[in-house]
Structure 1
């Protein structure tokens, strides 16, 4: 059994805000497996976790040290043997979902900032 990891991204419009449900940042897929990036709390986040979409208790990855910059990835037992390239892709996709709500590089409508001067 796993416990919920605390994390937060205040400008993510895709998070699930229903009472009693962990904050879901979004999902991504490697075309074979669907993954969900989620957290349980808003204040002072420093980590997030990735789980299988159909089973949030089946942890794939936990990333800690988000705020401190001392990042540490901990892989679930069955995911540790995957090739490094795939694991790097999952970490990258998970960070994008955590911060933006989606895994691709599309801009977030309504959240564009620019400086004119």
Structure 2
């Protein structure tokens, strides 16, 4: 496990596909390892793709970007998550989906 973080409602954990040169990582809800939130693959090739878990696809783009950014920080062993954009409010689709400035990491 690379680390844990929260959006104010749910705790998330990040794990790499392997200890040496992982090509992907997963974000999951601890205690329910079957509840995969996000898989980012293609890290070594540079052609990254985000695959969202079934229960998480309906969240707003803004929340997904925040989760991707924070997961990348933990994957690369940065200890501080970025501030949650709306302090733990519900980010399901229908909420504001305007993406704040920044770099998009994944094609997915």
Cα distance in 1 between the residues matched to 2:8 and 2:35: 18
Gaps of 5+ in 1: 1-23, 106-117
Q: Is the 8 A contact 2:25 2:75 kept in 1?
A: yes
CA distance in 1, matches of 2:34, 2:21: 23
Runs of 4+ in 1 over 2 A off after TM superposition: 101-105
More strand by share: 1
Instruction: Give the structure-1-normalised TM-score.
Output: 0.65
Shift of 1:79: 0.3
The RMSD of aligned alpha carbons is: 1.5
> Which residue does the alignment assign to 2:86?
none
Gaps of 5+ in 2: 83-108
Residue in 1 that maps onto 2:64: 87
Q: Which residue is equivalent to 1:49? A: 26
